[in-house]
Structure 1
Amino acid sequence: MAAQPNILWIVTTQWRAQATGYAGDANARTPWLDGLASEAVNFTQAVTPHPLGPQARAALLTGRLCPDNGVSGYWDALPVYQQEKPGGHRPPHQPGRTVAHALADRGYATAFFGKWHLAPRDRSAPFVGEAHAKIIVPPERRGGFGLWEGFESGFLLNDPWLHGTRLPQPKHFKGYQADVLIQRAAEWLKAPHSQPVFCMVSLEAPHPPYHAPAPQVAEVKPASLRLRANVPTGGPVEKQAREELAGYYAHIEATDRAVGKLIAEADLSGTVVVFTSVHGDMHGSHGLFRKAWPHEESVRVPLLIRGLKPGNRGRTDLSPVSLVDLPHMAVAWAEGREWHSRRDNALISMPAATEIPLQCPVAWRGFRSPKHKLVLNADPSAGSGQAATPWLYYDLERDPLEMRNLAEDPGRQDEIKELIRLM
């Protein structure tokens, strides 16, 4: 690996780890990502630390867990990072410091394209539509990126509004959102740079609305889809899951094609390429939908990293990696160092409950390793850092679909107590 390689992050939204061709999902048509996986390290145990958009993005950008990074609830904005002034003092580990600040300090040109979802938002405005898509994210709230071009939210998978460094006011772009963002990122990457570059492309798809048009992709018939074995069948849950998954997989195919365009058009030979997602989606597993849940479909995410070493091509890595590790990986690469996971588990949590329909309505915290997952009910009366009774405990080796909750198994109580002590 070069001393200072270029670094590209491609970050999607709601793309669960199971939903790729290379992961064995018969519903997923992902030829470009399958090809990338054949050349990359596939972190098959990767998780999001917080399976809801703003919290996940805050952890991904800062390398710090919520709420330590300044974001706890859905509506919290990422704090503004105060740059140190000459002769002044800046407290260490300030919450708003991001990977863009860290890489700029190491000589990188930095750029961001796409969904931000970390600025102050209007709680009364509809989630889907132009109101949130046209919110201006002021320069001081753009995470330290040298070039920033995106939108706050709005879930407009087609015809997005973009603003930023080169677009002082929101501008309407025609086309599929992923295609528009990928094209603008490719143009920036192909331009001459005198410095190594770090580029983050943040895509909304395959986030709802699932039945928004996907270019040149026809939705499959819901009845033809193969469901995970933990989806209850024969009732309204199966019906909703099938209908939503038809659109979900159409957007997965369209987004895979957009990612392929970036891989094909930009010279990424000297670039570390990262593909991941901020969280997954339950899609009917355990009778649940959407995210913020601690189950595998919500917390596990795809993570491919290409370009680390020639010998890593096509390798599977079982390390318990989390999105919160990615900024630390990037800094290591910028400094010419290798990064290795030094943990045997990854912390997962929802630090605050959310009132958004279908999402998990309670706060919780826990950990996940390749072998086990323990989730504790958050107990507001117990004080900061404390937790109440175990909610979920799974043996993931024997029960990867989480069909048997062992939290109240008498034979597991000593084991659970010891794990809580270690947490």
Structure 2
Amino acid sequence: MKNITYLLFLCLFIISCNKKIEKVNQNEIKKPNIIYVFADQWRAQSLGYAGNLDVKTPNLDKLASEGVYFTNAVSTSPVCTPYRAMMLTGQYVLKTGVFLNDVRLGPDNNSFGKILKEEGYNTAYIGKWHLDGNERSAYIPKERRQGFDYWKTLNCSHSYNNSNYWGNDDKLKQWKGYDAKAQTKDAVAYIEEQAKSEKPFSLVLSWGPPHAPYQTAPKEFQDLYKNVDIQLRPNVPEKLVERTKKILKGYYAHCSALDSYIKELQDAVKRNNIEDNTIFVFTSDHGDMINSHGEMKKQKIYEESAKVPFIVKYPALLGKEGKKSDFLLNTLDILPTMLGMSGIKIPKNLDGENITDIILGKKQDDRKASLVACIQPFGQWKRKIGGKEFRGIITKTHTYARDLDGEWLLFDNVKDPYQLNNLIENPDYKVVSKELEILLEEELNRLDDEFLPGKAYIEKWGHTVDSTGTVPFKW
């Protein structure tokens, strides 16, 4: 009897110890590091792995072969400041008021850096910020840095050689040479240092190129395209062919330069043995028309403006073999997905979806559409050059949009991938347009978007704009 009692106590003791060990082990599991790299104005079509035979992006092609790359990544509001606000907060632009460039993201918003910091992360932001109002070179105090401690940024600059930045010591400094290269070097040093720490880290690296000016990349990358006959998209008007080829040579030079810095970042991750437990993302805030449809820049729903590259690599969770996804990823999904992949509780007020289980094949992809919106046209798409408020959706087969006057655009992206034929008046597509309108209404209702004139939202949020609807800014 004594032996039986002794064995029972021994079993209970072992079970208790195992549970304690299991609990300790769970507490000791280090959350993944997050390295989020994004360029400014890099369209989805300008990558080797996307089928572009001119642009040289071998390192991003390799990254795509090792991670998950999305063919339907959509910028929900394809312009700088609105994208950045949505990426950091996970909230639609009408909930933060950040639907124009050069307005400030309120310091009380909960966001990427703050959430990760509360979860024990070291946080860093290097590069372009563009979330602190209309003084593009002004000092940004700590309370407006959205939880990022390591800080080397400027609100906004498109001078990519010897540009300025505010450092951790709150002094104005200068990146030496091509700023994206210098910023990458600094990011690599940060990775090297953080790899020694027991704490996880998050690093956001925000490059200014390939946004214009297009002809300022380092000479070695410009030389790659010096004697190349660039192939244009069929939707570029004949009268703009030569100008567009010149622009693309400079644009691609920027792209190839940034691509080489992806290798530097990946090498640092591998060299420091943190590859498996690091979420590495490459993307862009929006695209660039570059004379497709005779248009320039962004804010539009055309593929060249609204579609962006998006690659996520996280070997510990996603494996090491590349995978292509046609999921309709939008900007609002980024924050909840980064948190979900990291095992962090997701705030209930976010407007996107954690798509981790969809990527892993554990959950069905039932998304039918992704929203694209222009709340108020401004700047490079002001009204006198065709700018207008619109709401639209992109599906896996169509693009549909309406403006304040009613239905505006309908493209069959399968039959017409360069969007040359607007089918909105085509009677054969009336059923399709009606179905797409229903999907659009569902999305607007979900986001509490009444689709009012831009002026109504400007007045609601108290933004100061000029006669073109643009926030005046100072360099």
Q: State TM-score, norm by structure 1.
A: 0.86
Please say if 1:299 is aligned against 2:306: yes
Report the Cα offset of residue 312 of structure 1. Answer: 5.9
Q: Cα deviations across residues 297-348 of structure 1 (Å, max 9, x unaligned)?
A: 0000000111153546211011000122111111102217934365222111
Matched to 1:318, the amino acid is D
**Equivalent position of 1:313 in the other structure:** 321
Matches within 5 A, 1:173-212: 173-191=175-193, 192-212=196-216
Q: Distance in 2 between matches of 1:279 and 1:193?
A: 34
**Equivalent position of 1:232 in the other structure:** 237
Report the Cα offset of residue 11 of structure 1. Answer: 0.5
Find 2:419's aligned residue among 399, 402, 417. Answer: 402
Please say if 1:116 is aligned against 2:129: yes
C-alpha contact (below 8 Å) 1:3/1:335 kept by paired residues: no
Q: Distance in 1 between matches of 2:357 and 2:149?
A: 25
Please say if 1:283 is aligned against 2:290: yes
**Equivalent position of 1:351 in the other structure:** 375
Find 1:60's aligned residue among 76, 81, 87. Answer: 87
**Equivalent position of 1:31 in the other structure:** 58
Report the Cα offset of residue 78 of structure 1. Answer: 0.9
**Equivalent position of 2:341 in the other structure:** 333
Report the Cα offset of residue 391 of structure 1. Answer: 1.1
SS class of match (1:112): strand
Structure 1 gaps of 5+ residues are: 82-95, 123-131, 380-387
C-alpha contact (below 8 Å) 1:282/1:298 kept by paired residues: yes
SS class of match (1:71): coil
Report the Cα offset of residue 28 of structure 1. Answer: 0.8
C-alpha contact (below 8 Å) 1:54/1:117 kept by paired residues: yes
Q: Distance in 2 between matches of 1:69 and 1:360?
A: 26
**Equivalent position of 2:406 in the other structure:** 389
Find 1:413's aligned residue among 417, 427, 430. Answer: 430
Task: Name the stretch that deviates more: 304-313 or 65-74.
Answer: 304-313
Distance 1:310 1:118, change over 3 A: closer
SS class of match (2:220): coil
Report the Cα offset of residue 355 of structure 1. Answer: 3.0
Q: Distance in 1 between matches of 2:357 and 2:114?
A: 19
Distance 1:62 1:339, change over 3 A: farther
Q: Distance in 2 between matches of 1:15 and 1:356?
A: 17
Report the Cα offset of residue 103 of structure 1. Answer: 1.7
Q: Cα deviations across residues 353-409 of structure 1 (Å, max 9, x unaligned)?
A: 1133688622211111111111111x2xxxxxxxx3111111112221111111111
**Equivalent position of 1:154 in the other structure:** 157
Q: Cα deviations across residues 24-73 of structure 1 (Å, max 9, x unaligned)?
A: 11121111111111101011111111111111111111111212222022
Distance 1:328 1:339, change over 3 A: farther
Please say if 1:102 is aligned against 2:115: yes
C-alpha contact (below 8 Å) 2:297/2:380 kept by paired residues: no
**Equivalent position of 1:261 in the other structure:** 264
**Equivalent position of 2:143 in the other structure:** 140
SS class of match (2:96): coil
**Equivalent position of 2:471 in the other structure:** none
Q: Distance in 1 between matches of 2:390 and 2:357?
A: 29
Structure 2 gaps of 5+ residues are: 1-28, 345-353, 359-364, 442-475
Identical columns (%): 31
**Equivalent position of 1:171 in the other structure:** 173
Q: Distance in 2 between matches of 1:265 and 1:354?
A: 40
Find 1:370's aligned residue among 396, 413, 417. Answer: 396
Report the Cα offset of residue 74 of structure 1. Answer: 2.0
C-alpha contact (below 8 Å) 2:161/2:177 kept by paired residues: yes
Task: Name the stretch that deviates more: 311-320 or 38-47.
Answer: 311-320
SS class of match (1:205): strand
Distance 1:105 1:51, change over 3 A: same
Report the Cα offset of residue 147 of structure 1. Answer: 1.9
**Equivalent position of 2:331 in the other structure:** 323
Distance 1:259 1:362, change over 3 A: same
Q: Distance in 1 between matches of 2:39 and 2:245?
A: 22
Q: Distance in 1 between matches of 2:229 and 2:55?
A: 12
Matched to 2:235, the amino acid is N
Q: Distance in 2 between matches of 1:80 and 1:421?
A: 36
C-alpha contact (below 8 Å) 1:176/1:215 kept by paired residues: no
Q: Cα deviations across residues 153-198 of structure 1 (Å, max 9, x unaligned)?
A: 111211121114x231210121211111111111111113231111
Report the Cα offset of residue 411 of structure 1. Answer: 2.6
SS class of match (2:93): coil
Matched to 2:124, the amino acid is A
C-alpha contact (below 8 Å) 1:306/1:313 kept by paired residues: no
Q: Distance in 2 between matches of 1:271 and 1:255?
A: 20
**Equivalent position of 1:245 in the other structure:** 248
Q: Cα deviations across residues 193-225 of structure 1 (Å, max 9, x unaligned)?
A: 231111110001111100114252234248710
Q: Distance in 2 between matches of 1:289 and 1:347?
A: 21
Report the Cα offset of residue 106 of structure 1. Answer: 2.1
SS class of match (1:347): strand
C-alpha contact (below 8 Å) 2:30/2:199 kept by paired residues: no
Matched to 1:198, the amino acid is S
Distance 1:412 1:77, change over 3 A: same
Specify the structure having the higher radius of gyration (Cα): 2
- Structure with bigger helix share is 2
Distance 1:106 1:342, change over 3 A: farther
Q: Distance in 2 between matches of 1:71 and 1:194?
A: 36
C-alpha contact (below 8 Å) 1:16/1:301 kept by paired residues: yes
